[in-house]
Amino acid sequence: MQGSGLGSSLILESLADAALVNASIFVLGDPAYYQRFGFEVVPEPRCPFDPSNEHFMALRYAGEDGFVIGYETDFG
């Protein structure tokens, strides 16, 4: 289904949802793709799943203090 616009449509619909319209949203993916939707690479917080942090992006993130990325303790 790549190239059909389905992924873009899903992202745009999700970002337009009233519950998310003002929320900070994070993704881990291809910057060339997600930057089309306004996502920007963020230097902080550090993403343990992307040590270089070059694929970790945010939309509407104001740099809140104390933000930690990782698994819940239930996952060890």
Give residue-wise pLDDT tens across range 22-62. Answer: 888 999 999 999 999 999 998 888 888 888 889 999 999 88
Evaluate whether residue 72 is within a structural domain: no
Residue 1: inside a domain = no
In-domain check, residue 23:
yes
Q: Indicate whether 69 belongs to any domain.
A: no
pTM: 0.79
State the total domains in the chain.
1
Residue 73 reports pLDDT greater than 70: yes
Range of the domain at 17: 6-64
Q: Does some domain include residue 75?
A: no
Assign 68 to helix, strand or coil: coil
Q: Give me the residues paired with residue 59 across strands.
A: 25
Question: pLDDT tens for residues 5-20?
Answer: 899 999 999 999 999 8
Burial of 26 (0-12, 13-18, 19+ CB in 10 A): middle
Q: Is residue 26 a part of any domain in this protein?
A: yes
Residue 13 lies in a domain: yes
